[in-house]
Amino acid sequence: MPDTSRRWRLAGMIAATVVCGVMAAFGALACIFSPLIFDRPGNLMNPVAWLSLLLLVTFWIVCILAPFGAWVVYRRGQESLAWAAMAAPLAWLALLAAVLQFVPG
């Protein structure tokens, strides 16, 4: 009989991959609207606006690459590193939310 705990951890990895896929879809949609950051006069010369644009445009890429890297290290037996890689999009999203607070809107 397979280890039940291992099955739950595998199910958790699959669920986290699905969540990352959904976040990637929303990130791609947000990427389409990312030039709207520069709508307000003066934002074109604002370095925080440029940083938020960079974070916003690369968010969906992180959402795609993080599960890929997580599954690679998970299959190699480094489960804690796999969960850290799977959490990268959430950390990226938290950083993006923090930086967007300083962009004048």
Q: What is the reported pLDDT for 1?
A: 47
Cβ–Cβ under 8 Å, residues 39 and 45: no
**Amino acid symbol at 26:** F
- When pLDDT is averaged across residues 39-62 and rounded to a whole number, the result is 92
**Global pTM?**
0.85
Q: For residue 75, what are the CA distances in angstroms to 36, 71, 100?
A: 41, 6, 36
Could you give the dihedral angle defined by the CA atoms of residues 11, 19, 67 and 35, in that order, rounded to the nearest 10 degrees? Answer: 180
What are the tens digits of pLDDT across the range 63-84? 999 999 999 999 999 999 999 9
